C-alpha cells in the first residue's frame, strides 16, 4: 500500500508523475492461492501508476517488488500463514502495460493449539448463545483464521443485544501466536452481564386518547428488552392506520437497577381521508375494479370508517361494504366493529347425472342479492411472545337474502314451478358466532415464509327470529416453508361442515330424470371449490352442488417451488378437493400442473398450467393470480 512505501520511494513516485499523462495502473497477476486469501492479497497490493513511456529502473523495480512482497505477507497473516513467500517480477505485455506477477507460496499454517471459550453471566444458558458456542468456527487443530474469529465475536454481540444483554462484554479476548512453532492460543470469555428490561413508554402526541395506544404494545414494564419486539411494536403502530410518520427513540438507562430502556414515540398524524383504487385481472375473477375511501381519526377515541366498492366480470358480481371500528379502552387491544354489506351476483343452476362435470344442463338463471349487518367485538391475542397476533371476533350477523331465478327453456312447464319454489325465496337469518384469524407472514419475494390459520363457527336458530336452523364450522391452514436458498414448499388444507336442510326435486330433462339439490343454507355461507386458489385445473367455483353452493368442503394442496434466477422460480403442484352436501359422496377432484413465479415489486405473479384428472380428456387450464398464496 502507498502508506507503507518508504520516503525515498514516494519521492521517486512523485518524480515519475509528470510522465503519467497516458498512465495505466499496473496489472497484478496472483497465482498459488485460492479464495478468500486471493481477494485479500489483491486488496493489499497497492495500485501504482507508471506511464507507458516511464523508464522502470532497477531501483524502482526493486522498490515495487519489496512493497508487493510486504503486502502479500500482511494479507496472508489473518488466515494463519506467517511464513509466506512471494516471488515477484515485473514484465511488459504486448500492449505496453506493466504486469506485476506474484507467485505465492503460503507456507505452513499456524494451527490452534489451545482454545479457551467460556460463557459467563446470567444469560449464558440462552439457547441462541449455546448454539453459537457449539458452532464456534475455530477449534483445536484448525488453521487460525482471524476473519472467522472477528465474525464470531460480532455475531455473539448481535445475539446478546437481541436478547436484551446490552451490557455484555468480552472479559478476555486474546490471540497469542508463536510463529516459530506455528501455533496459536486463543482466549475468548463472554460475560453477558444483567438482562436489560423495558421501562416506560411515552407517546408524544395530542390527537389520540393515550389509552388507544397503550393497548397496542405487546410488552409490559419490566419485561426483558428485545430488539425484534421493538421492531414489531413500531410496525404495529404503523399498521394502526393513525400515523403518517413514526419515530421510536430509545432512552437507555444502563446504570439503573435493573438496567432499563425507556421509549419515546413521536408521531405525525395521518391525513383524515385516504383514497385507493385498483384495476386487475385474474383467471378466477376476469377483469375487476376496487375502490376504497377511508376516514381516519373521526374522534380522539381513534374510531375510523372505510367504505369499499368492488366489481368483477366473473358472475357480474359487485359489492359495497362499510366498516366502522372503535377501540376499547382495555389493557389488551380490542375493538367494537360494525359492518354493513350489500352484494349481488349472477348465478346459473346446473344439474347433471351422477356429478358428470362435462354434461351439465343449465335449468335456471338468476341473481342472488345479499344485505347484511354484522356487529361484534375483536380482540387481538398475542401469539409467539407477541411477535404475531391472532384476531378473535365475537359477532352477531343479520342477513337478508333475496333470490330471483328464472327457469330456462330446457325443462318443462310442470317442472319449473317446484324449481322456482326452492330457488326464488327471501331468507332472513340471525347468526351468532366466533371467528379466528391468525396470519404469520415474514419476508418478501421468494423468501416469504410463514403460515395463515383461519377458523370460524356460527349458528342460526328460529328461536331468536331466523327463518331457518343451520350451523357451520370451518378450519383452514396454509404454510410456506423454505429449505436452503432455492427450495420452498406450500402446504394447504381446509375443511368445512354445515348442518343445514337439503331440498331435492326431480326434473325431467331430455327424456331423463335428474335431481336438483339445494341447501337451505344462505348463499353467503355456502362453499364452492375450484380455481386458482383451490383445485387448479377446474373452473372458478365450478366444484359444488348444481352451481349454487354446498354445505361442506374438503380440499388440500401441496406445491414445491425452485428459485432458479433472482426473482424467478418454477413450481410443481397437486391439488385435491370438492364442495358437496353428503360426506358419504365427497367425490374429490384432482388437479396437477406446473407453474412459473415472478416476484415483482407489486407482489408475486403466479402463472400455472393445470390438468384436471377427473374431466373427460384430462383437459388443461391456465390460472393467473397476483399475491402471496398465504392470504
Domain ranges of the chain: 2-105, 111-191, 197-269, 330-626
Angle at 444 between CA 270 and CA 446, to 5 degrees: 160
CB neighbours (10 Å) of residue 320?
15
pLDDT digits (tens, 9 = 90+) for 540-582: 988 998 888 899 999 999 999 999 988 999 999 999 999 999 9
Q: How far is CA 560 from CA 278, 404, 566, 621, in A?
A: 30, 44, 17, 19
The stretches of 399-555 forming alpha helices (DSSP H) are 413-423
Range from 30-34, 403-407, 572-576 that averages highest in pLDDT: 572-576
- Is pLDDT at 343 greater than 90 in this prediction? yes
Q: What's the average model confidence in pLDDT over 349-373? A: 80
**pLDDT range class, residue 17, cuts 50, 70, 90:** very low
d(CA 575, CA 559) in angstroms, rounded, equals 9
pLDDT of residue 11: 38
- Distance, CA of 276 to CA of 137 (rounded, Å): 52
The per-residue pLDDT of the chain, averaged, comes to 86
Fold match between 2-105 and 330-626?
Answer: no
The rounded distance, in Å, linking the Cα atoms of 172 and 168 is 12
- The pLDDT score that the predictor gives to residue 49 is 53
CA dihedral 381, 382, 384, 389 (to 10 degrees): 70
Q: 369 has which bridge partners?
A: 344, 402
- Domain 2-105: assigned CATH number: 3.10.20.310
Instruction: Say if strands 603-612 and 512-519 run parallel, antiparallel, or are unpaired.
Output: unpaired
Element (H, E) at 451: strand 449-460
Cis status, amide bond into 258, omega within 30 of 0: yes
What is the rounded CA–CA span in Å between residue 623 and residue 160?
47
Lookup result for grid cell 414448499 = 489
Whether pLDDT at 184 is above 70:
yes
Q: Which helix (H) or strand (E) holds 356?
A: none
DSSP of 43-91, one letter per residue?
HHS---EE-TT----HHHHHHHHHHHHHHHHHHHGGGTBSS-EEEEEEE
Q: What is the mean pLDDT of residues 470-478?
A: 97
Q: What is the dihedral of CA 460, 464, 469, 474, to 10 degrees?
A: 10
Q: Where are the alpha helices (DSSP H) in 118-249?
A: 127-134, 146-162, 210-214, 227-239
- Whether domain 111-191 has CATH 1.10.10.10: the reply is no
CATH assignment of 197-269, among 3.40.50.1100, 3.40.605.10, 1.10.260.40, 3.10.20.310: 3.10.20.310
pLDDT in tens, 581-616: 999 989 999 999 999 999 988 778 999 999 999 988
Phi, psi of 420 (to 5 degrees): -60, -35
Distance separating alpha carbons of residues 303 and 84, to the nearest angstrom = 72
Q: How buried is residue 44: exposed, middle or buried, by Cβ count under 10 Å (0-12/13-18/19+)? A: middle
Strand partners, 143: 111
- The residue whose grid cell reads 446504570 is 255
Query: In angstroms, rounded to a whole number, what is the distance separating the alpha carbons of residues 570 and 93?
Result: 47
Report phi then psi at 344, rounded to 5.
-145, 140
Q: Which three cell numbers stand for residue 28?
A: 497484478
The CA distance from 518 to 500, in Å, is 10
Dist CA 266 CA 243 (whole Å): 10
Residue 289 is predicted with a pLDDT of 93
* Most confident region among 216-225, 362-371, 466-475 by mean pLDDT: 466-475
pLDDT, one tens digit per residue, over 304-339 is: 999 999 999 988 999 999 999 999 988 788 999 999
Q: CATH for 330-626? A: 2.40.160.50
Q: Cα–chain-centroid distance for residue 53?
A: 60
DSSP per-residue letters across 105-142: E--SBPEEEEEEEEEESTTTT-HHHHHHHHT-S--TTS
Cβ–Cβ under 8 Å, residues 307 and 291: no
C-alpha cell at 440: 404469520
Q: Measured between alpha carbons, how far is 297 from 301 in angstroms, rounded to an integer? A: 8
pLDDT value of residue 525 = 95
Cell reading at 110: 499456524
CA–CA separation, 51 and 70 (whole Å): 24
Cα–Cα distance, 310 to 58 (Å, whole number): 82
Is pLDDT above 80 for 366? yes
> pLDDT tens digits for 485-544?
899 999 999 999 999 999 888 877 777 777 788 889 999 999 999 999 999 999 998 899
Check pLDDT > 90 for residue 414: no
Output b/e per residue, 234-254; b: 16+ Cβ within 10 A: eebbeebebbeebeeeeeeee
Residue 92, pLDDT > 90, answer: no
**Do 146 and 78 meet the contact criterion of CB atoms below 8 Å apart?**
yes
Amino acid at each position: 500500500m502507498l502508506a507503507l512505501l518508504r520516503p525515498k520511494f514516494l519521492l521517486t513516485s512523485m518524480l515519475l508523475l509528470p510522465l503519467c499523462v497516458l498512465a495505466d495502473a499496473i496489472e497484478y497477476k496472483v497465482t498459488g492461492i485460492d479464495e478468500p486469501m486471493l481477494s485479500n492479497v489483491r486488496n493489499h497490493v497497492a495500485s501504482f501508476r507508471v506511464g507507458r513511456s516511464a523508464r522502470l529502473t532497477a531501483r524502482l523495480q526493486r522498490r515495487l517488488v519489496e512493497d508487493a512482497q510486504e503486502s502479500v505477507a500482511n494479507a496472508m497473516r489473518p488466515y494463519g500463514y506467517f511464513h509466506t513467500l512471494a516471488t515477484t517480477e515485473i514484465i511488459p505485455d504486448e500492449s505496453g502495460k506493466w504486469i506485476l506477477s506474484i507467485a505465492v507460496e503460503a507456507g505452513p499454517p499456524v494451527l490452534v493449539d489451545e482454545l479457551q471459550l467460556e460463557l459467563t453471566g446470567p444469560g449464558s444458558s440462552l439457547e441462541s448463545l449455546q448454539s453459537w458456542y457449539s458452532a464456534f468456527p475455530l477449534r483445536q487443530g484448525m488453521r487460525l483464521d482471524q476473519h472467522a474469529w472477528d465474525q464470531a465475536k460480532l455475531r455473539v454481540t448481535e445475539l446478546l443485544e437481541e436478547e436484551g444483554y446490552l451490557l455484555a462484554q468480552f472479559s478476555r479476548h486474546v490471540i497469542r501466536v508463536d510463529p516459530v512453532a506455528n501455533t496459536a492460543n486463543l482466549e475468548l470469555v463472554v460475560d453477558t452481564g444483567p438482562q436489560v428490561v423495558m421501562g416506560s413508554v411515552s407517546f408524544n402526541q395530542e390527537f389520540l386518547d393515550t389509552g388507544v395506544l397503550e393497548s397496542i404494545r405487546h410488552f409490559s414494564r419490566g419485561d426483558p428488552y428485545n430488539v425484534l419486539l421493538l421492531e414489531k411494536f413500531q410496525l404495529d403502530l404503523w399498521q394502526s392506520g393513525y400515523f403518517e410518520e413514526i419515530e421510536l427513540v430509545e432512552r437507555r438507562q444502563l446504570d439503573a437497577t435493573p438496567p432499563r430502556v425507556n421509549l419515546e414515540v413521536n408521531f405525525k398524524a395521518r391525513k383524515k381521508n385516504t383514497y385507493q383504487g385498483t384495476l386487475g385481472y385474474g383467471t378466477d375473477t376476469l377483469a375487476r375494479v376496487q375502490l376504497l375511501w377511508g376516514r381516519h381519526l373521526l374522534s380522539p377515541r381513534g374510531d375510523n370508517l372505510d367504505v369499499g366498492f368492488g366489481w368483477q366480470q366473473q358472475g357480474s358480481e359487485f359489492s359495497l361494504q362499510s366498516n366502522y371500528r372503535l377501540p376499547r379502552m382495555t389493557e389488551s387491544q380490542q375493538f367494537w366493529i360494525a359492518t354493513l354489506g350489500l352484494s349481488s351476483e349472477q348465478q346459473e343452476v346446473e344439474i347433471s347425472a351422477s356429478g358428470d362435470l362435462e354434461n351439465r344442463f343449465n335449468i335456471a338463471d338468476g341473481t342472488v342479492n345479499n344485505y347484511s349487518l354484522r356487529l361484534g367485538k375483536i380482540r387481538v391475542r398475542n401469539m409467539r411472545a407477541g411477535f404475531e397476533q391472532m384476531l378473535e371476533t365475537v359477532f352477531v350477523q343479520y342477513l337478508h337474502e333475496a333470490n330471483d331465478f328464472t327457469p330456462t327453456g330446457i325443462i318443462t312447464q310442470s317442472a319449473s314451478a317446484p324449481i322456482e319454489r326452492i330457488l326464488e325465496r327471501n331468507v332472513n337469518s340471525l347468526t351468532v358466532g366466533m371467528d379466528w384469524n391468525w396470519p404469520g407472514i415474514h419476508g418478501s419475494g421468494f423468501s416469504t415464509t410463514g403460515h395463515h390459520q383461519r377458523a370460524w363457527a356460527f349458528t342460526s336458530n328460529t328461536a331468536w327470529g331466523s327463518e331457518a336452523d343451520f350451523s357451520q364450522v370451518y378450519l383452514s391452514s396454509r404454510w410456506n416453508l423454505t429449505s436452503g436458498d432455492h427450495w420452498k414448499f406450500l402446504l394447504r388444507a381446509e375443511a368445512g361442515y354445515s348442518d343445514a336442510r337439503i331440498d331435492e326435486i326431480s326434473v325431467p330433462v331430455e327424456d331423463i330424470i335428474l335431481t336438483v339439490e339445494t341447501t337451505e343454507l344462505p348463499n353467503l355461507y355456502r362453499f364452492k371449490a375450484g380455481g386458482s386458489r383451490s383445485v387448479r385445473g377446474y373452473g372458478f367455483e365450478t366444484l359444488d352442488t348444481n352451481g349454487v353452493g354446498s354445505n361442506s368442503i374438503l380440499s388440500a394442496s401441496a406445491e414445491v417451488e425452485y428459485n432458479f434466477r433472482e426473482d424467478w422460480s418454477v413450481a410443481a403442484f397437486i391439488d385435491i378437493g370438492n364442495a358437496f352436501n353428503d360426506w358419504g359422496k365427497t367425490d374429490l377432484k384432482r388437479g396437477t400442473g406446473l407453474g412459473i413465479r415472478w416476484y415483482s415489486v407489486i407482489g408475486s405473479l403466479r402463472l400455472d398450467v393445470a390438468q384436471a384428472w377427473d374431466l373427460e380428456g384430462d383437459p388443461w387450464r391456465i390460472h393467473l393470480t397476483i399475491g402471496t398464496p398465504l392470504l
